[in-house]
Structure 1
Amino acid sequence: MPRATSEKFTRTHQPSAAASKSKGESLGGRNPLFNTERFGQHILKNPGVARDIVDKANLRPTDRVLEVGPGTGNLTVLILEKAKQVTAIEMDPRMAAELSKRVQGKPEQRKLNIMIGDFVKADLPYFDVCISNTPYQISSPIIFRLLSHRPLFRVAILMFQREFAMRLVAQPGTSLWSRLSVNVQLYATVDHIRKVDKANFRPAPEVDSSVVRVVPKDPPPPVKFEEFDGLTRILFTRRNKTVHANFQAKGVYKMLEQNWKTWCAETGQTVEDEVDFKAKVDQLLEETGYAENRAAKMTVDDFLKLLSAFHDLGVHFA
């Protein structure tokens, strides 16, 4: 896997004509540029949809834009028309070569910086807006990488597989409300923008896609993600079971008791020899009124209140 770099893409990364011909022949005459399955990429070929996605970002002339998975640049060239600068992170050197050629010798070339490598591992530059036709295999990593980035960006317009996108915007009490939903909505407001039929891509994926708008909460809530995620991980193990039932799962009380004893040691608290930790947790759940609640119907605020009650008791989840 190539390491992400901020250096401009050069023609030395492009395959030789002989190599391209050989690869094309091995693929039965098909253009190897669009054999992108191993990178999880599907190139958006509908210019109307591409224009609509860029328009939804409401770009300003001063904006610095981060694009993830630009492919051959169908979104990139539209972003370059409106933004001050674009940094495009692309895993596939062939795609990066194609994008480089599209702007070569044009004024937009000075506004484009191409990084070749893995978005998840790359050192991200400052950016105001993120736009992405997201490679499928990094759908979850991209959303959390973006939300943990500082300084905060203004808005992200992201396209995902439709089911993943609908989980991002799901509400409590619906079938798609999940740990992903609550973890993302803790830090951002997410709206569904539009559905994109699979016929708009090359090669066509097996499912439709959807575009969402992600606006980070500024300031972000003063909650460690690891703590919040630790709580939701327990409660969404069986989302339709009660909170109390999920805490009864094997190993949960033992893990929390170890964390509690560590906290007591670090803060100089005395731990009674015969303390009944399970009884302490059960009492907390009853007193907060969440013992019989179910994660499938709990709101972000519900999870925050429950987490706060545990922290007051000295119980941590990470």
Structure 2
Amino acid sequence: MPKVVSRKFNQKTERPSKEKKDEKAAASASAASAASRAFGPLFNKDLGQHILKNPLVAQGIVDKAYLRPTDTVLEIGPGTGNLTVKILEKCKKVVAVEMDPRLAAELQKRVHGTPDQKKLEIMIGDFMKAKLPYFDVCISNTPYQISSVLVFKLLEHRPVFRSSVLMFQREFALRLVAKPGDSLYCRLSVNVQLFAKVEHIMKVGKNNFRPPPQVESSVVRMEPRNPPPPVDFKEWDGLMRILFVRKNKTLSANFKTDSVMEMLETNYKTYCATHDMMMEDPLDMKAKVQGVLTKVGMAEERAAKMDQDDYLKLLAAFNEEGIHFC
């Protein structure tokens, strides 16, 4: 009969290595979780959450907003409130729009029981879907993935607000302020500068955030033109799309592509039909477009070096001939 040998494992020296690794990993995860709780709530990377932790930078942003005691401030993405508490000191009311309910709860706790509690209104939800209230100034540490749509939603807001101080990825910010001839001058630059005066006011290094983003940041101040220019934005942007597809090519070259000609011819025929206008027979759309470019002296100009006045003059000349871009 086989002999049964009973053996006790020495836990310190003979425990299976896999069990040791599992316990070590669990301990490490527990420590990381505790550290995270000590420094605030977990951040949602999908929402682009990077909390500004440097109080000097936060104060600088608030100072550049030139707030008045009577102001209502719209803050987009307040996070845990590092900017919010400084804004509350300077204005009458803050409406903070926060998508993450956990961060909204942190912000609520932060001001609870303080004199500023009654001055803070928190809207939980997606800023892009929210109906915005009246505000005088907007301040935002902007989630970078919504930068462009955020800018245009603000510019479309009525009544026109006084100014906004907005944090963006460095390159995006530099596009907003780029001038004719700059390498970053683009359709975004032209479209935003049509409706607002934009200036770069501050660089912010990635180490000023928790967790640090992968890119450097900048702060810009945007002051909407009031009243807004009397320009149909869809029409304007339709022209910009054509000009900036190849911004370093001549305007004449950009308007010769088949797709552009087909679109303009369709629009022209529709315009003539809806305005009881006689249409040329036969219609030579290329010659008509080139005639406009020659008339305004811009056939050999390049979008990369043109300014707002040039674009407005060009759009008006096309419209006079019944040529439209939307």
> Pairwise mapping of residues 13-28 of structure 1 onto structure 2 (< 5 A)?
28=32
Equivalent pairs counted in the alignment come to: 296
In the alignment, residue 207 of structure 1 is paired with which amino acid?
Answer: V
Matches within 5 A, 1:76-91: 76-91=84-99
User: Is 2:287 aligned against 1:279?
Assistant: yes
Listed as ranges, the matches of 1:166-181 within 5 Å are 166-181=174-189
Name the counterpart of 1:111: 119
* 2:277 aligned with 1:269: yes
Q: CA deviation at 1:250?
A: 3.4
Instruction: Give ranges in structure 2 of 5+ residues lacking alignment.
Output: 1-27
The aligned amino acid for 1:196 is: V
The partner residue of 2:233 within 225, 236, 256 is: 225
Task: Confirm whether residue 144 of structure 1 aligns to residue 149 of structure 2.
Answer: no
Matches of 2:71 and 2:252, distance apart in 1: 48
Bigger relative CO (Cα 8 Å, ≥ 6 apart):
1
Q: Taking structure 1 as reference, are residues 27 and 115 closer, same or farther at Cα in structure 2, changes over 3 Å only? A: farther
Q: Of residues 139, 164, 181 in structure 1, which corresponds to 2:172?
A: 164
Normalising by the residue count of structure 2, what TM-score does the alignment of the two structures yield? 0.88
Per-residue CA deviations over 1:216-256 (Å, capped at 9, x if unaligned) read 11111100111111111111101111111111223111111
SS at match of 1:270: coil
Spell out, residue by residue over 1:148-186, the C-alpha distance to the aligned partner (whole angstroms, 9 max, x if none). Answer: 110000010011011000111111001010000000000
Deviation by residue 1:23-70 (Cα, 9 ceiling, x = unmatched): x95895252724231101210000000001001111111100000111
Give the Cα separation in 2 of the matches to 1:293 and 1:305: 13
Q: Report the 3-state secondary structure (helix = DSSP H, G, I; strand = E; otherwise coil) of the residue aligned with 1:236.
A: helix
Runs of 4+ in 1 over 3 A off after TM superposition: 24-28
State whether residues 185 and 304 of structure 2, in contact with CA within 8 Å, keep that contact through their aligned partners in structure 1: yes
Letter in 2 for 1:214: M
Structure 2 CA distance for aligned equivalents of residues 162 and 224 of structure 1: 30
Residue identity opposite 1:161 in structure 2: Q
Which one of the candidate residues 118, 125, 132 is aligned to 2:133? 125
Which amino acid is 1:58 matched to?
Y
> Aligned equivalents of 1:26 and 1:271: distance in 2?
76
Question: Aligned residue for 1:31?
Answer: 36
What are the within-5 Å matches in structure 2 for residues 233-312 of structure 1? 233-312=241-320
Q: Does 1:313 align with 2:318?
A: no
Deviations 1:62-113 (A, max 9, x none): 1000001111111101111111111111111111111111111222111111
1:239-285 deviation digits (Å, cap 9, x = unpaired): 11111111122311111111111111111101133121111001111
Cross-structure match for 1:51: 59
CA distance in 1, matches of 2:252, 2:93: 51
> In 2, Cα distance between the equivalents of 1:282 and 1:201?
52
CA distance in 2, matches of 1:236, 1:309: 19
- State the secondary structure of the residue aligned to 1:82: coil
Q: Residue 68 in 1 paired to residue 76 in 2?
A: yes
2:256–2:286 CA contact under 8 A, matched in 1? no
SS of structure 1 residue aligned to 2:258: coil
1:12 aligns with none
Matched, 1:100 2:105: no
Native 8 Å contact 1:34 1:203 kept in 2 = no
RMSD (CA atoms) = 1.6
Query: Separation in 1 of the partners of 2:258 and 2:142?
Result: 37
Shift of 1:201: 0.4
Measure, in 2, the Cα distance between the counterparts of 1:28 and 1:266. Answer: 67
Partner of 1:19: none
Instruction: Provide the residue aligned with 1:186 in structure 2.
Output: 194
CA–CA distance in structure 1, aligned partners of residues 141 and 227 of structure 2: 27
Residue 6 (structure 1) aligns with: none
Could you tell me the percent identity over the aligned residues? 64
Larger radius of gyration: 2
Residues 41 and 136 in structure 1, CA contact (< 8 A), matched pair in contact too = no
